[in-house]
A and B are shown apart, each in its own frame.
Chain A
């Protein structure tokens, strides 16, 4: 589904990603953990071309997104992304936030787009908020709308960039619940998070990133209980 080969990323002279390779299989949930500044968000943003890699190749569903001739818009509509700060369109209602992609990008009719949006809102438990505006919603509600907005494009893979880091603690659970449902339904997911409980429960594989490298990877049980690397052990001891 996603194949990453030897990518590197520089910001000026600073190298944030160092020769990373990774395969993500269909229906797999990969959780990426690591200290801040380790490059995990940058890595995730490379997967839909929001950041351009300096070297290496990324192939998603057979399309090489790192090729200069690739139309990134075509790839991005199949790759959903959820941001740390939600990034809902402030001037649009919840309904419009969810339908604008299907209507403008997929050229779906208004009626059909709104029916699907209703179904998605039900799925994330916000049926009654369809005509609210983002600034009238709590953080947790906004993030669930953002998930619905991404799902409305019918993506084949979902990227989550620290989806619960900007939330008040009591709202983390509602967002994680939606993500767990998605994982159970078989969505392919790459999740950058500090929620170790989530990683343990739904992650098929956990990657530990540090200083721009994937230092260690493994099944959650193995990586959390029995890390091979000293730095992984140190990181886990600080946050668990």
Chain B
């Protein structure tokens, strides 16, 4: 028996223990919190600690109080165009930002991948370096740059492009939000792109040229298609968190910059309505997860 244990059972268990790690991780840090939020989204507010009912103490409790759960909060989200607009506005801002990030990030990643090997690590460091300063401080710094009496205005005034009384009014606008987002998320776009482009075999471009393809065209028929995995990874890495972005629009945006992160904040902190804010979060998750799952299935088929 002991032999059978060491020969068959032990390696089998070891293998499954290893496979189980990512599942356990997802279960613990994604599924469990999600189920808690889902449960709260089906509850109702109350003046209590915690501020909602029903509170489930045990599994038996769960069945007993099942009838207390309600979809009212989801129905409520459909009744006020605020939520619908906030979702749409967030998706729009995320989409525009992601496109801007791709436009800005691609040449950077491309330049890095084409740089001499000895320089590349230094360039990667340069991309990562800003992370060593607090994100919040970096976004605050943009206030100093963008505000009407900030660095941009000063620079343009001293260059004579702006008159002494003219100012740049970017701060507190959506433009400032885009600037802040592009700046903050750039490494998340550049690094996957760089990884994809760096892997790209330069002889493929020579082969294309050899077969009569001019460089600009070979970028579109060879380089870009082969960097698509990096493009997709970078876009997902940026798009998903941008949809839920709260800090950047709060600091740089004007009060009219409507995003779901701010709406969620208001529900949770101003209204203290945990159930509705949970419902907002669940809907946000569905909006983000469903397209990704569809996309991944498509990828598998392709």
The answer to whether A and B belong to the same complex is no
Q: Which residues of A contact B (CB under 8 A)?
A: none
